Structure 1
Amino acid sequence: MINSISDTPQHQAEQQAILWQAKLSSDLLSDRQRREFEDWLAECPENAAAWQAVNSFWTGLDGLTLADIGAESGEVLAFSRANASKPPRRTFKTGLALAASLLLTLSIAYQQLDFYLADYRSATGQQRQIALADGSTVLLNTASAVSVDFSEQQRLLTLHRGEAFFKVAADSKRPFVVKTDAGEVRALGTAFDVKLQDQQASVTVFEHAVKVTSASGEIKERLAEAEQLQFSADGISPPTHVNLQRAAAWHQQRMVFQDKPLAEIVAELNRYHPGKIVMVGDALKNLPITGVFGIADTDVALQSIEQSLPVKVRKITDHLVLLSAK
């Protein structure tokens, strides 16, 4: 009996490693899934070798140079599937672009799964205004999902991912609570913003106050207007004062930056870009930039960055953009 390549333990391990890369890159990763990954990694040498190859390739994107990419000649850097412990070898046309596209596609697909479970959702680059039955409203930011569970005792909303602005209608008999994996926020007659990212959440109060309880049980009894804090399973950070006009910029589909490093701008653009924007090397990360960008078209923002900074923008695929030094 002849086995196909797809039946070999090595090939199966490679496919599983690619799927784990997508899962581990997601904001939805749970502690249980992380333990499952660790069990899979220790299961056999093929799994460990496949993960080393896939993870080394993906994390190596930041250290690449344009010479490695070889865009003009079609030559790219790839890892040998035959031996993950060997140094990278050069191959033509396949490799970096194809593997990067595959990982990005899988990552994006995995992160969309929770959308099918949520009551309301927004796609990447989209915003959505929602009117709730009690008169409250929710503005969903890009790639966000929320579920609603109203009862006679409380109004419970679960933010599965992304960011949302809540404007709460008064109802003294039913508290308004926003639940996340990082903890929960209880409205004290208010308007506030909750953002969930990397198993950590932040809350910004625009009117009145909120009560915050972290997943670990730590409590902030009252976070006041124009204050912001982060909370997670590790606890609650000290509150800071914020500029509400700037914090609300995304409500008007704008991003506002004042003397911020390019790495921070790229991280924010990636929330609205249908794919991945990657900086090549570390030289660009601390370049300061001030500007106002629209969230509806990240290509325009990238053009502005290219014109104002010594940065070259190179579109590799529809879902992969590289930023490099000019």
Structure 2
Amino acid sequence: MRSTDHIADSRTALHKEAQHWLLRLTSGTATASDARAFEHWCGQSGTHLEAFAETRRLWENLGPAAASLRAREQARAVSGTVTALPRMQPRMSRRAFLGAAIAASAALAVVHPPLQLWPSLSDMVADYRTATGEQREIDLGQGIVIQMNTQTAINLRKSQGRLVGVDLLGGEIQVKATAAASAPITVSAGGGQIEVGVQGKCNIRCYGSDVQVTGLDGATTLQYQGHSAVLTTAQQADYGKGRIGQIVPADIESTMAWRRRVLIFDGQSLSQVVEEINRYRPGKVIIANDSLAARKVQARFSLNQLADVAALIHDAYGAKVTSLPGGIVILS
């Protein structure tokens, strides 16, 4: 009995460690040192790899179950039997999660899903969203057409049945106000407002609190925390952290490459390249070598090549490639 109890205790401890690693690697603050430590942890035994795989599968199963629960709650709300949940729920802290059973963590799994294995809570209730690797075009009527890139979610703002604005919750869109538009369209993103004039077109990227806007045609006006700027064709500006950055010339070919299902990199570090690639493929590529992460990249990738991107990086830079459960690939 003691031997059986010891084995059970060891498995429980191992699964807690696997939960810790899954949350750490998807926190957005993981470092190269974390990646090296995780690679070492996985290499200790096949049992470690199995524990991580089981944890990942449990997360994956929690996602659809929580989404189904959310759909049932919304249906009851429409019938008047319950009060609808707000669009956003407060995030449970990861420390609290680690101290509790994983079955009690469905709320966190929905609000902040690891590795984008399923849509987040805000994505699930968005008017329109795209999955990893998906792109789509939305004709909103009133002369407004939106192209949505991968992992993007938007809500529509309407007044008396008419579209008055768009909320970009996260991701990347191209907004076009055609000649049929009766008025400019305003996009809210990252705490700012982007106004696209009639017969205007722009590209908007919003990841976290950082927003990048590229003027593609006509005039685009930015309003952010008391600051303003006007972009014309082939001009670009970022905003966030309380300020609007300098207006600079835009590389239209690179900005618009995603519309052709191509990614173009011209002198970016490999860490920046991998960060962008991770938006288009399931799982996550992690660089565990600081010098490798700093290497400058001149490359053009078709989105159809991304399944083989680790092999391409290995061939170009001699990186060691370690493939782990959950679509995680470590480059060192």
Whether these two folds match at TM > 0.5 is: yes
In structure 2, what is the equivalent of residue 217 of structure 1? 226
SS in 2 for 1:123: coil
In structure 1, what is the equivalent of residue 235 of structure 2? 227
Q: Contact between 1:154 and 1:175, CA under 8 Å: does it hold in 2?
A: no
| Match status 1:291 vs 2:317 | no
Q: Name the CA distance, whole Å, in 1 between partners of 2:58 and 2:297.
A: 32
What is the deviation of 1:318?
3.3
| Match status 1:275 vs 2:283 | yes
Q: What amino acid maps onto 2:317 in structure 1? A: L
Kindly indicate which of the two structures has a greater share of residues assigned to helix. Answer: 2
Unmatched 5+ stretches in structure 1: 6-12, 26-54, 77-90
What is the deviation of 1:217?
2.5
Q: Contact between 1:182 and 1:233, CA under 8 Å: does it hold in 2?
A: no
In structure 2, what is the equivalent of residue 167 of structure 1? 176
Matches within 5 A, 1:46-125: 60-64=33-37, 68-69=40-41, 71=43, 74-75=44-45, 92-93=48-49, 106-107=113-114, 108=116, 112-125=120-133
What is the deviation of 1:163?
0.4
SS in 2 for 1:283: helix
1:139 to 125, 147, 160: 147
Q: Name the CA distance, whole Å, in 2 between partners of 1:259 and 1:109.
A: 31
TM-score, structure 2 as length reference: 0.68
Q: Contact between 1:178 and 1:184, CA under 8 Å: does it hold in 2?
A: yes
Q: 1:62 to 1:265 in 2, by over 3 A?
A: same
Unmatched 5+ stretches in structure 2: 1-7, 9-15, 61-108
In structure 1, what is the equivalent of residue 316 of structure 2? 308
In structure 1, what is the equivalent of residue 76 of structure 2? none
Q: 1:264 to 1:103 in 2, by over 3 A?
A: farther
What is the deviation of 1:165?
0.7
SS in 2 for 1:318: helix
In structure 2, what is the equivalent of residue 81 of structure 1? none
Q: 1:75 to 1:299 in 2, by over 3 A?
A: same
Q: Name the CA distance, whole Å, in 1 between partners of 2:223 and 2:324.
A: 43
Q: 1:233 to 1:290 in 2, by over 3 A?
A: closer
What is the deviation of 1:170?
3.3
Aligned-residue identity in percent: 23
Q: 1:102 to 1:279 in 2, by over 3 A?
A: farther
What is the deviation of 1:314?
2.0
Q: What amino acid maps onto 1:181 in structure 2? A: G
What is the deviation of 1:206?
0.7
Q: Contact between 1:182 and 1:231, CA under 8 Å: does it hold in 2?
A: no
Q: 1:234 to 1:147 in 2, by over 3 A?
A: same
Q: Contact between 2:143 and 2:181, CA under 8 Å: does it hold in 1?
A: no
SS in 2 for 1:308: helix
Q: Name the CA distance, whole Å, in 2 between partners of 1:182 and 1:208.
A: 23
In structure 2, what is the equivalent of residue 206 of structure 1? 216
Q: Name the CA distance, whole Å, in 1 between partners of 2:24 and 2:152.
A: 21
